[in-house]
Structures are given as C-alpha cells and as structure tokens.
C-alpha cells in the first residue's frame, strides 16, 4: 500500500523569501504525485501534478516540484512567497492503475509580513 | 460547469440521529470518493466507488455507508451519528488518469 509523509506540519516564512515544503512517499509500484492547496473554509485545489515525463513540474501561482524517484520525494518549492500563499498544502500519491489517492497530513504555510 | 457539488454545507446533529450527505459531479468521472478531514490528520478515505453500482471501503469506513445508484451521484450516510464523527467531509471525483476534483466540503457537528 502507498503512504505519504509530509515532514513539516507548519512552516513560517517571511514574505518574498523562498520556501520548500517536503513530501516523501512510499509505494511498491509506479506512482502519480500531486500537490493541492486548501485556503481557509474551502475545498482542495490542484497546484501541480506529476504523471510522467520531466521530473520538474511547474504549477499555478509560481510553485514547482521535483520528482526524485531514488529518494521517493516530491518537494514543493516557490522562490518568493506572498502573504496570499498562506494556506495548507497537501501532498498526495496515486498508484498507477490504482483507485485510491492517499494524502499526507498537510503542511500549514504561514507567510509573515 | 459546476464540477463537484456537496449538500448540505453545514449540519448539526444530535447523537444517534441519521443523515445523508449528497455529492454530485458533472464531469462524467468514473471514480468518486468520500474523505473526512480532521486537524493534524490530513484527509482520510472513508469509502470510494470505481463506477456506478460499486462501492468499496477506505481507511476509516466504520459508522458510514455509501451508495452510487447513478454515475453522477455518491451518497454518504450516517445511520447513528456519534460525536467522533464531527468533522469536515469532502467528496471528490476523478477520471482514469487525472487528478481528483473536490467539492467545497460539509462541516458536520455531532452534539
């Protein structure tokens, strides 16, 4: 069975600083990987996804992530954050050919002025 | 397109009462899911469906039942609500090789 570990529960960062949110996964087969964002009192929105091909994936709002198969990681990065990036971020994994998307516990990003 | 729509958005139940949460999607997706979200625990899968007429248990199915009589709808039922079922419930749907699309959530409080 697959699993996802988000290594930081909270990440405080100053506005315009770079940020990295870490995600490791476990699976015995090939996977698809996703990052979602959740703003307060809203549902989850897709930030970016890795299905195949280039291991560097670019998403919305200036975010990007790199798939590292050898380290089973899919870390999310942004070179310069804004106050509006304050939200909770979820990493998720889906086994290729599988039915269930499994989510990490989430990382709360707090951007300070 | 409306995407994924959940009803109701808020509900307060007394212990022992029953209720049904409705999820509707208009994207012709085969797969549908019910998750619950609790602080510090991310999203945990309750039940899912891989097509009309099918259902399967997820990580935390106890106390819940589901039905998928029509492809576009996925119902989540609580037969006898307990305070431990206080949570935010999310429905999601996806196509074969796509990401999941989420509804806006249902905030349920059981007193």
Q: Which residues contact A8 (CB under 8 A, 6 or more apart)?
A: A21, A22, A107
Asked if A75 contacts A65 with a C-beta cutoff of 8 angstroms, the reply is yes
Mutate to test the interface with B, among A9, A74, A100 (most CBs of B within 10 A): A100
The alpha helices in chain A, defined as continuous H runs, are none
**Model confidence over B12-52: pLDDT tens digits?**
999 999 999 999 999 999 999 999 999 888 899 999 999 99
Q: Is A30 on the interface with B (CB under 8 A)?
A: no
Placement of tokens 């749907």 in the chain: B93
How far apart (Å, rounded) are the C-alpha atoms in residues B91 and B108? 14
Low-confidence ranges of chain A (pLDDT < 70): none
Q: Is A89 on the interface with B (CB under 8 A)?
A: no
**Model confidence over B84-94: pLDDT tens digits?**
999 999 999 99
DSSP secondary structure, A29-51, as one string? S-EEEEEEEE-TTS-EEEEEEE-
**Model confidence over A84-101: pLDDT tens digits?**
999 999 999 998 888 889
User: Residue B98: its pLDDT value, please?
Assistant: 82
Q: How far is B94 from chain A (nearest CA, A)?
A: 10
User: Residue B1: its pLDDT value, please?
Assistant: 61
Q: Is B92 on the interface with A (CB under 8 A)?
A: yes
**Interface contacts A/B by beta carbons within 8 Å:** 51
* Main-chain phi, psi angles of B38, to 5 degrees: -125, 150
């Amino acid at each position: 069975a697959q699993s996802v570990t988000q290594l930081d529960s909270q990440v405080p960062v100053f506005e315009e600083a770079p940020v990295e949110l870490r995600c490791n996964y476990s699976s015995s087969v090939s996977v698809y990987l996703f990052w979602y964002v959740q703003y307060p009192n809203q549902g989850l929105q897709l930030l970016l996804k890795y299905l195949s091909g280039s291991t560097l994936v670019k998403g919305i709002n200036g975010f990007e992530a790199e798939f590292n198969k050898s380290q089973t990681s899919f870390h999310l990065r942004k070179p310069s954050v804004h106050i509006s990036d304050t939200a909770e971020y979820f990493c998720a994994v889906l086994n290729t050919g599988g039915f269930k998307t499994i989510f990490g516990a989430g990382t709360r990003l707090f951007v300070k002025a | 397109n409306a995407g994924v729509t959940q009803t109701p958005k808020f509900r307060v139940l007394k212990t022992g009462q029953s209720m049904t949460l409705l999820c509707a999607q208009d994207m012709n997706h085969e797969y549908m899911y019910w998750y619950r979200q609790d602080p510090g625990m991310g999203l945990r899968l309750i039940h899912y469906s891989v097509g009309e007429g099918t259902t399967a248990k997820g990580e935390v199915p106890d106390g819940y039942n589901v039905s998928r009589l029509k492809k576009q709808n996925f119902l989540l039922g609580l037969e006898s609500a307990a305070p431990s079922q206080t949570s935010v419930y999310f429905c999601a749907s996806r196509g074969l090789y796509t990401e999941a699309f989420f509804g806006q959530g249902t905030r349920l409080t059981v007193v």
